[in-house]
Structure 1
Amino acid sequence: MDVTLRSVLDRRTLAKALLGGLLASGLPALGRARADGAHRVVSLDLMLTEQLLTLGVPPLAVANIPLYERLVAEPALPAGVEDVGPQQEPNRELMQYLQPDLIVGLSWQAFRQQALARIAPVAFLPPPGRSGAPVEGVQELLAELGRRTGREAEAAARNAMLRARLADAEARLVGRVSRPVYLVRFMEDGRHAAVFGTRSLIGDVAARIGLANAWAGRGNASGVATIGIADLAAVPEAGLIHFDRGAETARALARLGESPFWQALPLVRAGRVAAMPVIYPSGGVASALRLVAQVEALYLGAGGSRV
């Protein structure tokens, strides 16, 4: 059987099974949603899923739950959220049976998705930070989602919280950060890293709380560049913070341990390397708040940090 046809049939089978289950249960979830005016939102992007959860809007369904749980994780998805499949090719049949009242995605996902408008109102929103600073970008996007879901007050409160936390952390870190720092995620090959510049969400948050970014090179539209490990020697006095993605990072560190380039770096010889839990680099307000807390813990914890 043709792979494409088999995929479509599998989707239809899944959707029919889901519909049958809903009908058998008397559609209680649908009835409650319509009775109390709650929004039945489908999110096609990881960051938008994070932002909806930040607003207290549990999505009806999202794209690629395993990827969200691996790369974002917090806020956690509640039980019962449906998975509509890949971000680039969501399961339209399943969405139609779920009967959402709003489908949200980012503008890069709009290509060839005109059919979604026959299911529910669709909003393809511009990615944050493309025309301004990333922090303001994620705040503006949270506010826009708040308007579309009736959570304007929640969006305003979360945005105010982020502004306050940034200002407070900047004040608390004065005198604690003594050197520029590379912000990176190691790649599994042990030879390369993704480095986050000031045009990235991670780099923008770090700069606002007093960290000088050691990376001054160019990056992609999200402020991220792929570099070789030897490039980390460009600023000998720098420290390094890397984001731990579990098994992937463990494999990278094992290979780095065997690398003469890595062992020769001044920041490695001086012990100016620190790890922290992964932050989704294309995340939203919750990711920014979590990064602030993690940087504070690193520099203000017992004994401070050599980074």
Structure 2
Amino acid sequence: MQETRLDTARIRAARRLIDPVFLDTPLYRCEALEPGLGCAVSIKLETVNPVRSFKARGTEVVVSLLAGNGSRAAVCASAGNLGHALAWSGRGQGLDITVVASRFAPAAKLDRIRALGARLELVDGDFEMARERAAAIARYDGIRLVEDSLDVETCEGAATIGLELLDTAPSFDAVLIALGGGALATGVGHMVKALAPEVEVICVQPLGAPAMTLSWRTRGVVTTDSTDTIADGVAGRRPIPAVLDDLLLVADDAVLVQEASIIAGMRMLLDHAGLVVEPSAALGIAAILEDRDRFAGRHVVTIVCGGNVDIDAYHRWVGAGSYPHRS
């Protein structure tokens, strides 16, 4: 395999920097899902931790290194989960954390950022506007700008999920990974291709936020003017070139799924696995629903990457309707 920015030795070392509460998350075969999906499905559950998402694996690494270098403050842009995780990790190391987010981000995510003592600044636009504002704050205040996916530590923190998959899972044929900025996909993808290259790495993104998938398909950065998806955690418009370069080395495929399939996946995870998840966490299930023939008879792992969801919105999405059926 050509080399990504990630380093397997550093990834193994990252486990020593991450609070154990975020490590060794449950991985189990979910047989109740299988009749509706037509394949064997194992779940890697990244929601049973203090921030209810995988993001703290990366922020724990970032903050540990910052604290070791004497830094006392950091700022990030976030759709919610990164800011939540950075606030948690920063509080543990005594860092002053500023999070810039869209005022349209889920209230549950914003409330948790505030509760952890971070300074929260809201912008009237989307994540890309928040990213620009966070960069301006970093320049003005002379503090570290934490950039998810661009900062290799965030990818290597996420890559510890891949280590755990390969250390504990029985043999599996494919891993389905939510694709947004790319930290999760490049991190897990790196470990899978390094240790089990025969396993298919499939990235999944909403049709309404396709920038990284289009970039992967064309092998060059494709930006979009807007996004239109309930999966706010993966709704970026401007892929980072260095992250795309890594993704091109580790992803075997990148697919786009419809909103109805995301909602159906959330409902299946509730009904058959007892899991309340945010839309991004259901992308893997959505991909199977949209292409059952591709996965028939295979053993698939999907990473349930986040559970921070506005309950009122969740009830609107999941409270009615039925699964899409394919002939």
Give me the TM-score of the superposition, normalised by structure 2.
0.33
Based on CA coordinates, which of the two structures has the bigger radius of gyration?
1
Give me the TM-score of the superposition, normalised by structure 1.
0.35
